Amino acid sequence: MFIYDNSYTTYKHLSEVMNMENAFDEIDAKILDALQVDSHLSTRDLQEKIGTSYVTISKRIKKLENIGIIKRYSIILDCNQIEEYQTTAYILIQIDGIHEPMKIMKTVSEIPEIIEVHAIAGDDNILAKIKGKDAASIGKTVMETLYHIPGIGKTKTIFVFNTEKENGILKLYQKEEGK
């Protein structure tokens, strides 16, 4: 839904998703940027931060929710503080040729330890992100759960040693040079 190379293409693409009366603009981008960093901000906090009226902020948030740009409000866990989920791995999954990838993706996404599932291009068909206590617990999930899903052929598990950035924030508003 978002094209992230500069603010013009971001606004243009999002405006295509909305009709003209709901056109995406700088205020929407500022609201989304602020809420991505702290979804707990009140409408009053956003009003002060962005510099527009309370009513405008309220209407814009409702619009962004109604059209599905804001899907939900959530928190970001520091999994390093939760012993059961301190280890991260990515699993590359190849599907047997006769099975439907979307059904397999849905089944994989229902595994509680798997927190992301993506269809990908290349030799592999699915990329899944998994959290666990350690390599052994992730290995157990892969061998006892994933391997039993019909249609899954080969898998490759890639363990993460260190994470520098994992915040899920897309910067939508960028001031134009000279303004």
Q: What is the pLDDT of residue 22?
A: 64
Burial of 141 (0-12, 13-18, 19+ CB in 10 A): buried
Name the residue ranges covered by the structural domains of the chain: 7-66, 79-159
Cβ–Cβ contacts within 10 Å for residue 30, how many?
19
Q: What is the pLDDT of residue 176?
A: 63
The verdict on pTM exceeding 0.95 is no
Which top CATH class is 79-159? alpha beta
- H-run or E-run covering 7: helix 7-17
Phi, psi of 28 (to 5 degrees): -60, -45
User: Where residue 8 falls among pLDDT bands split at 50, 70, 90?
Assistant: very low
Cβ–Cβ contacts within 10 Å for residue 36, how many?
15
Which top CATH class is 7-66? mainly alpha
- For range 91-96, the mean pLDDT: 95
